């Protein structure tokens, strides 16, 4: 906001401003203006030059100043011309002018501060997003390692049953050779165990569930061997007997110290 032009009142200067407004109005480029007498709006904002002299009706012997505002286009930006009567006022600007200038400066500072704060928040949000993306990537890698470590029996016997059956298979590979598909499954489990043991899995509180294939065409070699083994195992028992076998497996899962006891009790020879 430009500082107002302040000068002593002379009728000739007022007439020149009126002539200026008439010339531009005749050229089809009217200029909005406003006239205040001691702060009172004697002529409200208009572009009609014929209303210019209306301010004279409000000028008295006590009038101190006349302010003429020439606006830029349709905006509120303006050039202010102040004509004072008598001696020049030492304070320079009227209270209203000072307040407007101060208010405008305060608003500008506030806008700058708000912009800087938003810029800082945007930077922090971008960093937070980058950190989250990095964490997600690590979790996906960890999930992939966990899935590789899962037994192919999990989808059919659950975590508990597959753990027990897998342990029995690994400890009795010769016995498994007697079952169709058993020897192949034992070899796959041994190979899977060797591969996953080469890479340590970091501790994590995040848990993942193994994926189950939705169709036979997507089954892996391990899944097919597992299905063959489980079907062969189930074929050795009736439904009631197989349910009891699973009950025994659950009991052993709750108390693993009974595994050797049962093996010794039924006189199973281990290789």
pLDDT of residue 205: 46
State how far the Cα of 144 lies from the Cα of 238, in Å rounded to an integer.
Answer: 37
**Cβ-proximal residues to 269 (8 Å cutoff; 6+ apart), any chain:** none
175, 202: one domain? yes
111, 82: one domain? no
Give strand pairing partners of 6. Answer: 82
What tokens appear for 60 in the block? 């008295």
88, 65: one domain? yes
Residue with tokens 């209203």: 96
Share of the chain above pLDDT 70, in %: 66
Task: At 267, give phi and psi (nearest 5°).
Answer: 60, 50
State how far the Cα of 189 lies from the Cα of 187, in Å rounded to an integer.
Answer: 5
State how far the Cα of 66 lies from the Cα of 59, in Å rounded to an integer.
Answer: 9
Who has greater pLDDT, 41 or 158?
Answer: 41
First-residue to last-residue Cα distance in the chain: 97
Output the average pLDDT for the chain.
77
133, 83: one domain? no
127, 43: one domain? no
156, 190: one domain? yes
Inter-helix orientation angle 154-171/182-197, to 10°: 90
State how far the Cα of 223 lies from the Cα of 151, in Å rounded to an integer.
Answer: 9
Count of helix runs (H) and strand runs (E) in the chain: 8, 5
172, 261: one domain? yes
72, 177: one domain? no
pLDDT at 153 > cutoff 80: no
Domain range for 192 is: 152-265
Residue 271 lies in a domain: no
118, 221: one domain? no
User: For the chain, how many structural domains are there in total?
Assistant: 3
Residue 78 lies in a domain: yes
74, 120: one domain? no
pLDDT of residue 20: 95
Share of the chain above pLDDT 90, in %: 37
188-229 residue pLDDT tens: 556 655 555 545 545 544 444 444 444 455 667 777 777 777
DSSP reduced 3-state for 7: strand
State how far the Cα of 268 lies from the Cα of 92, in Å rounded to an integer.
Answer: 111
Whole-structure pTM value: 0.34
DSSP reduced 3-state for 33: strand
Section 233-254 average pLDDT: 84
State how far the Cα of 184 lies from the Cα of 175, in Å rounded to an integer.
Answer: 12
Residue 226 lies in a domain: yes
88, 107: one domain? no
32-66 residue pLDDT tens: 999 999 999 999 999 999 999 999 999 999 999 99
> Best-predicted range by mean pLDDT among 21-25, 89-93, 170-174?
21-25
Residue 270 lies in a domain: no
180, 216: one domain? yes
Q: Of 16, 12, 2, which is closest to residue 71 (Cα–Cα)?
A: 2
pLDDT of residue 211: 47
Task: At 71, give phi and psi (nearest 5°).
Answer: -85, 155
**Cβ-proximal residues to 267 (8 Å cutoff; 6+ apart), any chain:** none
State how far the Cα of 48 lies from the Cα of 35, in Å rounded to an integer.
Answer: 12
């Amino acid at each position: 906001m430009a500082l107002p032009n302040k000068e002593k009142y002379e009728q000739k200067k007022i007439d020149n401003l009126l002539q200026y407004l008439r010339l531009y109005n005749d050229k089809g480029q009217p200029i909005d203006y406003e006239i205040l007498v001691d702060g009172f709006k004697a002529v409200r904002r208009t572009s009609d030059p014929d209303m210019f002299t209306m301010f004279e009706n409000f000028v008295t012997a006590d009038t101190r100043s006349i302010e003429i505002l020439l606006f830029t286009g349709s905006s509120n930006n303006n050039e202010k011309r102040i004509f004072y009567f008598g001696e020049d006022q030492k304070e320079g600007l009227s209270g209203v002018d000072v307040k407007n200038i101060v208010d405008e400066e305060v608003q500008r500072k506030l806008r700058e501060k708000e912009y800087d704060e938003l810029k800082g928040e945007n930077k922090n949000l971008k960093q937070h997003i980058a950190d989250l993306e990095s964490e997600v990537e690590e979790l996906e890698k960890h999930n992939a390692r966990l899935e590789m470590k899962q037994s192919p029996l999990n989808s059919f016997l659950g975590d508990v049953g597959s753990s027990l059956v897998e342990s029995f298979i690994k400890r009795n590979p010769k016995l498994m050779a007697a079952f169709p598909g058993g020897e192949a499954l034992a070899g796959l489990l041994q190979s899977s165990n060797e591969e996953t043991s080469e890479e340590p899995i970091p501790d994590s509180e995040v848990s993942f569930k193994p994926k189950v294939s939705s169709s036979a065409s997507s089954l892996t070699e391990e899944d097919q061997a597992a299905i063959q083994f489980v079907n062969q195992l189930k074929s050795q028992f009736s439904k009631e007997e197989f349910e009891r076998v699973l009950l025994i497996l659950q009991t052993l899962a709750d108390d693993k110290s009974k595994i050797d006891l049962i093996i010794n009790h039924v006189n199973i020879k281990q290789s």
